[in-house]
Amino acid sequence: MKNFFVIAVCLMATFAIATAQQPRGGNFGTPEERAKNQTARLDSLVKLTDEQKVKVEAANLDLSKKMADAFRNNQDNREGRRAKMEELTAELEKQYKAILTEEQYKKYLDNRERLRERPRQRPR
């Protein structure tokens, strides 16, 4: 019985340590991974040309790096971080408008609005 108790305590301590090592707020990957994922999502939505894919991925990579910096530099200032991220997103929108055709851009905006109207579901 004593051995069982010792093993149980060791397992609980191991679990607690392993859980504490996980990053908080989720792991969204590197800026490069995020840029590739965002480009792939946009490509599946509007069917980008090869030339557009290169330009969109570069714009997404630039945004991902700037967002990571904004988050790092404004960790204690939630409103400042939010304002900076909105500014960066608006900048990306301008780049998308210049890269995409009018039809593709309209489809992108329609999809974005549809996603914003959908209620957010948070994981528990």
The answer to whether 55 touches 42, Cβ cutoff 8 Å, is: no
Q: Among 80, 42, 84, which residue's Cα sits nearest to residue 60?
A: 42
d(CA 46, CA 43): 5
Please say if the pLDDT value at position 16 is more than 80: no
Range ranked top by mean pLDDT from 54-58, 64-68, 111-115, 120-124: 54-58
* Rounded Cα–Cα distance for residues 23 and 44 (Å): 30
Mean of the per-residue pLDDT values of the chain = 81
pLDDT value at 25 more than 90: no
Rounded Cα–Cα distance for residues 104 and 119 (Å):
25
Q: How far apart are alpha carbons 95 and 119 in whole angstroms?
A: 27
pLDDT attached to residue 92: 92
CA distance 67 to 70: 5
Q: What is the gyration radius of the CA atoms in the chain, in angstroms?
A: 21
